[in-house]
Chains A and B, each alone.
Chain A
Amino acid sequence: MDTTELWIGAQDVTDVMRRLHDDEEFGFELLADICGVDTGSEMWVVYHLYSTLTPDWLRVVAAGLEREDPRVPSVTFLWKGAEWGEREAYDMFGIIFEGNRDLRRIYMPADYVSFPLRKDFLLADDAARSPGEGFRHMEQTHQPAENLRRPVLRNGKLGSGTQVAALGLLPDETEAPPS
C-alpha cells in the first residue's frame, strides 16, 4: 500500500480521531481529505490526515458500514471544515454523519431522492436503454435490499449491475415501493 493505513470501525471514529488530532505525539492537525466509498458490499468513510511530524499521509478507513443504513460519527467537532466534505459524502452515498449540524444535500436538488455515486445507481445511458422508461430510473427512491441481490458484473468487477437491470433480466425496478 502507498501509505500507512488504519482500519477502524464506525464506533471508534470519535476516539481515534480525537487522539490523533489532540495528542502531541501525533499532531495530525490537518484533515487532507474526507470521502465516502461504496465497495458494492459495504460503505467506507476514508480520512486522510497530515502531520508536520511525518512526511507521510495517514489514511484512516472507517470500514464495514452497512449499505442499508450507513452511519458514522461526524468529525466536525475537530475540523469544522469537514462539514461540507461530510455533506458531499451524504449527498453522493447517503452516509449519515451523526453530529453534523448541517447534513443536507450539497450538489443535488433538495427534492432528489437517490445517491448518485452508489454502485447501484443507474446512469442515464443505461436507463434510456430500457424501453419506455427513460430517465425516471435515476430518480427512484433507493431500495437497498433489492439492490443487494443484484449480480456482480463487468469484468468480474463490482459493477453497477445497470445493464442487466435495463435489459429487463432482473425483477422490474419500476414497481411501486412497498409502503
Chain B
Amino acid sequence: MTETTKIRSLDDPDIFVETPATIFDAVPPFPPRSEREAEFYHLRDGEMLINLGPQHPSTHGVLRVVVKIDGEKVVDLDPVLGYLHRGVEKICENGDWHHAISNCDPLEYVASMFSEAMPVLSAEKLLNLQVPRRAEYIRVLCWELNRIASHALFMGWLALDLGGLTPVLWSFIERDEIVEMLAALTGQRLLFNYLRIGGVNRDLNHDFLSRLGDWMSRAGNQIEQGTRLLNENEIFVRRTAGLGVLDRESALRLCMSGPPLRATGVPYDVRRAHPYSVYPELEFDIPTRTEGDSYARYLLHVDEIRESIKIIDQVLHEMPDGPVMAKIPRLIRIPPGRAFIAIESPRGQYACYAMSDGSDQPFRLRIHDPSFFNLQAVGALMPGNLIADTMAIMASLDPVMGGIDK
C-alpha cells in the first residue's frame, strides 16, 4: 500500500513530482477511517496541515498533533497517539500480580508512585486486606511528596514552553531534592517500585528522614520564589490568562479530572469524593477556581503544593509505629471478583478496574489514566487560538505521554 503525494519541485515550482507518502506526512490513510477523519483532512481554501511532533520538545514526550491552520490561527487539530504504546495492560495479564507493580511504574513516569499503586490497591480490595496503619501513612507521605515533585515540574515546564528558562531551573531544584529523598527510601529516583500488596517494601530509614526534615524546614521555598517570578509576570499572565478557557459543563462532558476540572469550579478530588487510605483523617482543603483558563490551572497547582505540604506535616506528626507489611504469603492467589479503585494523582483521577479469576495473574487490569482524558480537551481548547499558544495550552493540561500511550 504505497500512497504517493504530489509536491511542487524545489527547482521549478511549475513541475509536480510524486513522492511516496511517509508516516510523517499529514495525509490520512486512504480511505478515511471515520466520519471525523474525512472531515478533518478535507482542506478548504487557505487552510493547510502541519505536524507538531512527534519529536517536538514541547509535546512532553512523543505526541504528534496534526494541526489545521489558516494563517496563524488554528482551525482544527488531530492528536495522533501511540508512539509510546507498550501494551502494559496485556503485559500485566501475562505476568503475576507482583510483576504488574513494576510494569505499571513507567506509565506515569513523572509521578510513578501513583501508577504503581494501581495493581496494589486493586489486589488489596479484592483480597479485602487490611494494610497496617504505618504502611498507609508511609504511602500517603510518598504520594504527597511525589505530587509536589510533579507539580513543581509542571510549573517549570509551563514557563519553559512560554519561553522562560529560569523557573524550570528553580523547580528542578525542588524536584531534585524530593526525588533524591525518595531514592534514599526506595532505591530509585523515578520508577520506585516501592508499594507492595499489603504494605510497602521497607520501613523509613534515617537517610530519608534526615533529608525530609531538612527539606520540610524550608518546604516549598523554591516554589514560592518561583511563583514570585511568575504570578505577576506580565508576559506570563498575558500568555496564560484568558487562554484555553473551559467551562464547568464542557469539562464534565469531556470526562476531565484533576486540576483542569477543579479550575472550572468542580470540587472533584478523589481524596474527598471517594476517600481512600488515611485521607479522611487528615485536614486539607480542595482548592478550586472558577476561571477555567491556563492561568487558573497554574495557580491551582501552586495551591495544591501548599495543601500537600500541610498533609506531609500532619502525617509526620501522627505517624504510628508498627509493621509496614501485612502478613500475606508471597505466592498470592487473588480471589475471583471485580474491583474498581481510584486515587487522586497530580493529573487527576487515576483509576483501575481489575478482574480476577482466582489465579495468580490478573484476568483484566484496566488502567484509567487522567492525562489521556485531559488531553482530549485540546480539541476543544485550541481552535481559534494562535499556533504559538497551542503549546502553552497543552502544557497547562500537564499531559504525561507514558500514561496516555500506556
Q: Mark B344-371, 1 if CB is under 8 A from A, else 0.
A: 0000010101010111010110101000
Q: Report Cα–Cα, A50/B363, bound state, in Å.
A: 25
Q: Does A13 contact B (CB under 8 A)?
A: no
Q: How far is the CA of A55 from the CA of B276 in the complex (A)?
A: 11
A73-92 interface bits toward B, Cβ cutoff 8 Å, 1 = contact, 0 = none: 00000111111110010001
Count of B interface residues, CB-CB < 8 Å: 50
- Contacting B85 at CB < 8 Å: which of A2, A35, A102, A108? A108
A20 in the interface (beta carbon within 8 A): no
Docked-complex contact A79 and B355, CB < 8 angstroms: no
Task: Tell me the bound Cα distance from A48 to B349 in angstroms.
Answer: 12
Assess whether B87 is interfacial by the CB under 8 Å rule: yes
Q: Does A17 contact B (CB under 8 A)?
A: no
| Cβ–Cβ < 8 Å partners of B376 in chain A | 80-81, 83-84
Residues in A with CB closer than 8 Å to B43 are none
Q: A2-B339, A55-B273, A59-B340 are in contact. Are A123 and B37 (CB under 8 A)?
A: no
Q: Closest CB of chain B to A2's CB: distance in Å?
A: 5
Residue of B36, B275, B363 near A102 (CB, 8 A) is B36
CB distance from B123 to the nearest CB of A (A): 12
Q: Are A32 and B36 in contact (CB under 8 A)?
A: no
Quick check: A33 and B351 within 8 Å, CB to CB? yes
Question: Are B36 and A101 touching (Cβ within 8 A)?
Answer: yes
Give the secondary structure class of B's interface: mixed
Cross-interface CB contact of B355 among A37, A102, A123, cutoff 8 Å: A37
Contact present for A79 and B29 (CB under 8 Å): no
Contact of B373 among A37, A81, A100 (CB under 8 A): A81
* Nearest-neighbor residue (CB-CB) of A100 within chain B: B34
Binds A, one of B162-170, B227-235, B251-259: B251-259
Bound together, the chains give a CA A61 to CA B351 distance in angstroms of: 17
B206: interface (CB < 8 Å): no
Q: Does B10 contact A (CB under 8 A)?
A: no
Point out the residue from B37, B257, B358, B363 that lies within 8 Å of A104, measured CB to CB.
B37
Give the distance in Å from the alpha carbon of A156 to the alpha carbon of B359 in the complex: 9
Count of A residues near B, CB < 8 Å?
Answer: 51
Chain A 21-57 interface mask (CB, 8 Å, partner B; 1/0): 0000000011111010110000000101010100111
Q: Does A111 lie at the interface of the complex (its beta carbon under 8 Å from any beta carbon of B)?
A: yes
Cβ-defined contact, A32 with B342, below 8 A: yes
A158 near B34: Cβ-Cβ < 8 Å: no
In the complex, the answer to whether B85 meets A32 with C-beta atoms within 8 Å is: no
Interface string of B309-350 (1 = CB under 8 A from A): 000000000000000000000000000011110100000010
Residue B137 lies at the interface, judged by CB distance under 8 Å to chain A: no
Contact B90 A29 (CB under 8 A): no
The reply to whether the CB of A169 lies closer than 8 angstroms to some CB of chain B is: no
Separation of A71 and B349 alpha carbons in the complex (Å):
28
Q: Which of B1-17 contact A (CB under 8 A)?
A: 1
Beta-carbon contact of A1 and B255 below 8 Å: no
Cβ–Cβ contact B34 & A32, under 8 A: no
The verdict on A10 contacting chain B, using a C-beta distance below 8 Å, is: no
Best-surrounded residue of B81, B125, B275 (most CB of chain A within 10 A)? B81
What per-residue 1/0 map shows which CB atoms of A146-175 lie under 8 Å from chain B?
000000001111100000000000000000
Of all chain B residues, which has the CB nearest A125? B94
Q: Does A64 reach chain B (CB closer than 8 Å)?
A: no
| A50 and B274 contact, Cβ closer than 8 Å, known pairs A33-B351, A84-B376 | yes
* A55 touching B357, Cβ below 8 Å: no
B174 within 8 A of partner (CB) = no
Q: What are the residues of chain A within 8 A of B265 when measuring CB–CB?
A: none
Q: Do A31 and B36 touch across chains, with their CB atoms under 8 A apart?
A: no
A111 to B359, CA, bound (A): 35
Determine which of A46, A103, A117 lies in contact with B34 in the assembled complex, contact meaning CB atoms within 8 Å: A103
> Would you give the shortest CB distance from B156 to chain A, in whole angstroms?
28
Given A3-B340, A48-B340: A155 and B359 interface contact (C-beta under 8 Å): yes
Q: In the bound complex, do residue B82 and residue A107 qualify as a contact, i.e. CB atoms below 8 Å apart?
A: yes
Q: Are A157 and B363 in contact (CB under 8 A)?
A: yes
Closest CB in chain B relative to A166 CB, distance in Å: 14
Instruction: Give the CA-CA distance A121 to B90 in the complex, in Å.
Output: 10
Q: What's the Cα separation between A160 and B96 when bound, in Å?
A: 15
Closest to B1 in A: A111
Query: Quick check: A158 and B82 within 8 Å, CB to CB?
Result: no
Q: Is B35 an interface residue (CB 8 A)?
A: yes
**B246 CB to nearest chain A CB (Å):** 12
Residues on the B chain within 8 Å of A154, using CB:
359
The answer to whether A128 has its CB under 8 Å from any CB of chain B is no
A5–B358 alpha-carbon span in the complex (Å): 20
Most interface-central of B1, B353, B372 (chain A CB within 10 A): B353
A-B contact pairs, 16 of them (CB 8 A): A1-B338, A30-B252, A32-B349, A48-B353, A55-B275, A79-B255, A80-B376, A83-B376, A85-B373, A88-B372, A92-B89, A107-B82, A109-B82, A111-B1, A157-B359, A158-B363
Starting from the known contacts A50-B274, A101-B36, A104-B37, 14 additional A-B residue pairs (CB-CB under 8 Å) come to: A1-B337, A3-B340, A32-B351, A37-B364, A38-B364, A52-B273, A55-B275, A81-B256, A81-B373, A83-B376, A105-B82, A106-B82, A117-B90, A158-B363
